[in-house]
Amino acid sequence: MVFFKIKIILNKEGVSVQLYFTADTHFFHKDLLGNSDFAPRPFKSVAEMNQTIIDHWNARVTPEDTVYHLGDIALYFIRPERAAEAAILDVLNQLNGHLVLIKGNHDNRALFKYLAQHNYTYGGKPKFEFHDVGAIIKVNHRQYYMTHYPMMMGIVKQIINLHGHIHHYSVNIKEDINVGVDTPETDYLKEKPPFGTPFSMAEIEEMVAGKYNDFQKRR
């Protein structure tokens, strides 16, 4: 498994860029609407769901920030396929920030290729960045392995796996944190952000600490 590794960066003014994390937005995915057992989304239409995510995203993320999207951007089955890709691009262009896209099981190569063909400079860097498998960042002496699927890492120190894929389920491993929009890991937060809001680094660390303490109580 090959990862792409980066360090926390500063913008040209020397100000630290804010990092955010999300997954499983499933824009346009009408089968998730309603109270399903897997990923309940109580919206009347995909238009309402899409706009809710866009609004909550932009209420937090600024154009200068970076958002790691850990897969399953959208599911939109219309023909021609290019029309679906154009609609997904239109939604992504409404989202603030530089988007680092990690491929999920519902993100095909054709979509990534289309987005790459329509990429553009945004705040001095490309709007979209693409990774097939995952990425690693280091924050506060801890490494975060970011993947779509949850990882089984064994015994590790100062390594956390941020992932998506499993919607409102949680992996029974304290080092695995689900950052999807449906995640139950928000139970570890004192204040839950509105649906679709990417998680801040502070919220990630709060979830990591909360899950660790939860597991300590089980011993």
Please give the residue that has the higher pLDDT: either 6 or 60.
60
pLDDT digits (tens, 9 = 90+) for 173-201: 999 999 999 999 999 999 999 999 999 99
**Can you read off the two tokens belonging to residue 130?**
């693409």
Mean pLDDT rounded to a whole number for the chain: 92
Q: Rounded to the nearest 10 degrees, how much is the dihedral formed by the CA atoms of 96, 159, 104, 91? A: -10
Least confident window among 12-21, 121-130, 198-207, 210-219: 12-21
What gap in Å lies between CA 140 and CA 181, rounded to an integer? 24
Per-residue pLDDT band at 39 (split at 50, 70, 90): confident
pLDDT of 13 higher than 70: no
| This prediction's pTM | 0.92
Question: Helices in 61-200 by DSSP H: which ranges?
Answer: 81-93, 109-117
Residue 7 has a pLDDT of 43
**Can you read off the two tokens belonging to residue 200?**
């801040």
Give the architecture-level CATH label for domain 1-219.
4-Layer Sandwich (3.60)
Per-residue pLDDT band at 97 (split at 50, 70, 90): very high
Please give the residue that has the higher pLDDT: either 68 or 219.
68
State mean pLDDT over 37-42.
80
Amino acid at 85: E
State mean pLDDT over 94-106.
97
Domain boundaries, the chain: 1-219
State mean pLDDT over 22-39.
89
- Residue 68: name the closest of 206, 201, 203, 186 by CA: 201
- Please, which residues bridge with residue 139 across strands? 142
The Cα-based distances of 186 to 16, 32, 214 in angstroms read 25, 20, 13
Least confident window among 38-42, 140-144, 206-210: 38-42
pLDDT digits (tens, 9 = 90+) for 44-65: 999 999 999 999 999 999 999 9
**Per-residue DSSP letter, 18:** P
Least confident window among 6-10, 11-15, 100-104, 122-126: 6-10
pLDDT of 216 higher than 60: yes
Cβ 114 vs Cβ 87: under 8 Å: no
Residue 15 has a pLDDT of 55
Q: Which residues of 62-101 are buried (b: 16+ CB within 10 A; e: fewer)?
A: eebbbbbbbbbbbbbeeeeeeebbebbbebbeebbbbbbb
What gap in Å lies between CA 38 and CA 132, rounded to an integer? 25
Secondary structure class of 143 (helix, strand, coil): strand
